[in-house]
Amino acid sequence: MLLPYKIEGRLEAGCDEAGRGCLAGAVYAAAVILPPTFRDERLNDSKQLSEKQRYTLRPVIEQSALAWAIGIATPEEIDKINILNASFLAMHRALDALKIAPEALLIDGNHFTPYRDIPYSCEIKGDGRFLSIAAASILAKTYRDDYMKRLHEEYPHYRWNKNKGYPTRDHRAAILQYGVTPYHRQTFRLLGVEQHSLFE
């Protein structure tokens, strides 16, 4: 069972990101503050849920949360400051957009860049341990999936409606056949090998 908070009585925001391992598209992050009484047995790490389950839970989270927000870092920002720092930037932007200031942050993963003077703890596999991080993982994942589906309408060859920009065989085959788009991360190894010719 996922825990509702790390320290009882403290207003905690769970933070998680989606899209770090993708070859294309922005990285999305979410910050969620849940009320201490919130419980939902369906809530889990977004990777453990089906797409249907994630989209079913999204309005439950949004309606139940004391506050929630989405932050984004663009492919250009990813190429400029690297994907790890871009993930932190997206988290910071999500935290900036919260209508309530949290007293502490629960960050999924093992690294983070401090946000203002708010204390934080990095939680390995936190999306499978804390409700607020699990909620953030679902929001980040579903909003990013919506974004990739929109990009698919613009560039259907890459099948982003299915692979969401991840390095699948069909995605890399499309890069090889059609080249790169403005949404591809130019600093990533898009074909799994060096591909200098793609950018010349």
Q: What is the pLDDT along the chain (200 residues), one digit of tens a residue?
A: 899 899 999 999 999 999 999 999 999 999 999 999 999 989 988 889 999 999 999 999 999 999 999 999 999 999 999 999 999 999 999 999 999 999 999 999 999 999 999 999 999 999 999 999 999 999 999 999 999 999 999 999 999 999 999 999 999 999 999 999 999 999 998 987 444 334 33
Q: Strand order in 12-18's β-sheet?
A: 67-73, 27-33, 12-18, 104-108, 120-123
| Beta bridge partner(s), residue 107 | 15, 122
pTM: 0.93
